[in-house]
Structure 1
Amino acid sequence: MKILGISGSPRKGGNTELLVRRALDVCKKRGADTEFISLAEKKINYWLESTRDDVDDVDEILDEMKSSDAIIIGSPTYFASVSGKLKSLFDRTLPLRIDNYRLSGKVGGSIAVGGSRNGGQEHVCIQIHNWMLLHEMIIVADRKTAHFGGIAVGRDPGDVLKDKLGISTVENLANRVFDVTKEMKE
């Protein structure tokens, strides 16, 4: 079982990355192979007809998505929305839909980080879920502590590690992603 984690933050080593890595650590300890991608380190062009010939890192990311059984995507909350870089990646996944829905049946989960409690994180999770629905993915959430996924608070780098409730939602989400993916593979 391979689980891919994507941090949609433009900041390397930021709160979103910490939480996505925490989710992957939970999955790895339970026996999954994991892969991590930080969009902070990737060049992602906007979706324009001209981008089909431009060189960027999207094809590499799409290949990782296709080879994974589950995908956990995290984003910071910017005005109750996903990061611009993550939205650009979402737009660039259209070829996966056109190519017979290549993500169909894969398990997906979302993580959102905001600067304050009730700071729009649920909206971010819904946007990630909408993208997953359009790809016919199977969406899971943390059934114990949150209804949408891993949701945490952190303004400054590392702040999310102090948010015990937020960490528990991320860990519970990771366990659900692992469990559902395992059930589907059996």
Structure 2
Amino acid sequence: MKKFLPIAFAVVMTASNSTAIAEPWTYSEIVNPENLQSVKVEVTDGATEGCWTNIGEVQTYAEDKLGNLGYEVREKDAPAHFVFDVFINSGRSGGTCFGYIEVTLKAPAELKWSEGTALAILGDHGGVFKGYDNANYMMLDYVKELIDEMRDNAESRVESREHPTNETGVES
């Protein structure tokens, strides 16, 4: 995805009002309330000049949607199994906003042969935009789409347990 972003950003910057969006994804075998019980939502606001004004609404929306999926939503300073990170870097040019949005699902991961802990990316959704008054609706959409992907993975996991198949793919 990181290789895709510079190309997408260049394409978006040449259009008058546009977005370039990567599809949301998650590791379906890992991302479900059974494996990752608790979550906290962290917001990084790198927007300037009024390009993102519904920060509290987005945080509350993400917390509510995750809670509805069965995750225990924790306060910012409390420990959690993973972090639902909402990030924007945006500014204004010629009266409209441009920038980059990323919504990421992160979990601590132990590194073999190294000290410390890294962050594993378990899900991601993001894109670049140009020519909008602000990124408010886009932020809500990105959060919704990644959480919907998490929900779909959890539902398909439950479905596969209820209707197991053998090696040939036939329901047993």
Question: Quick one: higher RCO (CA 8 Å, sep 6+), 1 or 2?
Answer: 2
TM-score normalized by structure 2?
A: 0.42
Which is richer in helix? 1
TM-score normalized by structure 1?
A: 0.39
Structure having the higher Rg: 2
Which is richer in strand? 2
